[in-house]
Amino acid sequence: MRSWVESAEGSDFPLENLPLGVFRRADGLACVGTAIGDRILDLRAAADAKLLTGEVVGACRESSLNLLMSMGRAAAGALRAWLMDLLSDTGARKRVEPFLVAQADVQMLLPARIRDYTDFYASVYHATNVGRLFRPDNPLLPNYKYVPIGYHGRASSIVVSGTEVRRPCGQTKPADAPEPVFGPSRALDYELEVGFFVGPGNALGTPIPLAEAESHIFGLCLVNDWSARDVQVWEYQPLGPFLAKNFATTISPWVVTLDALRPFRGPAFARPEGDPKPLAYLDAEGDRSRGGFDVTLEVWLRTARMQEPVRVSRGNLRDLYWTLGQMLTHHASNGCNLQPGDLLASGTVSGATEDSLGCLLELTRRGAQPLQLPDGETRRFLEGGDEVILRGYCEREGHARIGFGECRGRLISG
């Protein structure tokens, strides 16, 4: 199948992708849409014109994806099939084309009303690298290979791609100072992550078995969990991250559904010999065989002096020690009620090689080995005017390449 939208082929958003998001129309309305090439199909307008039918019509008239998320993957799959027909049938072109708008002409909004946000720590490479920086003799704590570690983030400070991020203030303690001081962070970092939105969710007190976990995952997006490392190192003991991470989290505007990602699934991370097997509630044959996602993830950096951004790392989502299903199941294992539109994130995605490290803390060895940029600049951590751009895409022979678009944020000092 090929779309009659000329810009679709070769873009991040071919017919095989059709991610969902929310944009603001020229009349001010926030509307659900799907990306196709460099265009957006306005699903509210399509529903009003009776181009869409079935139970999803009401969800397409909403100002967020929450209702569609609550309806489960079958409803989203039915919408996807209907959209594929509309956007590939040349006979439907005259009826559908009036409801296409240029992505460049609209403002993208957060795709869902996010009431809760949890960030995990699922990359063993990242956890080990960071552990070596702070605990050289004991880099990986003993619970790591048994428990998908996470912390409760701040949902109200999640912003959509393109939003400027102000340098936060906080308490820090210089190594040679007897007391902490309060002021702007001087060790601001990005974190390359992937987030996933909860679909139907679960009732309070009712766990989600791992075999059913993916029926509660609506789709994936890119996440930059900005981090003030100097604040973090002073405050994170004994209770973990707090002000170092809750000032801003940037997400990409498009949610790529699990149906679109089906061709790019594979086995979960192969645990090294000698590692403990997951406990029974975190182990299922389907998750072992299909729990991995082959998503290439890139970090690009543009400084105030640069004309074009430069790529500083490239990793892959399949390097996560814990699968998305295991994270979701563990989160709900105590009866915690996940709700439609909740956001869960992977934590920094890093690989085994130097060029696959997902944050400056790792790349620069906590600032000891500055990153060399092509124009002669160096970076230990981010400076005012720096723009971080995350990109993600999937490629496999015999299948169309699909992408996630971009997750951008520029640091402004304040």
- The residues annotated with a catalytic role in the active site are 126
Structure tokens at 40: 């957006």
Strands (E), 103-238: 107-109, 117-120, 150-152, 158-160, 165-166, 169-172, 181-184, 188-189, 192-198, 217-224, 227-228
Please work out, in degrees rounded to the nearest 5, the angle formed at the alpha carbon of residue 105 by the alpha carbons of 110 and 26.
Answer: 80
CA distance 407 to 64: 19
**Cβ partners under 8 Å of residue 246, min gap 6:** 153, 154, 157
Return the exposure string of 246-256: e unless at least 16 CB atoms fall within 10 Å of the residue's CB, then b.
Answer: bbbbbbbbbbb
Taking the C-alpha atoms of residue 333 and residue 24, their distance in angstroms, rounded to an integer, is 38
Burial classification of residue 183, based on how many CB atoms lie within 10 Å of its CB (0-12 exposed, 13-18 middle, 19 or more buried): exposed
**Could you give the CA distance from residue 337 to residue 201 in angstroms, rounded to a whole number?**
7
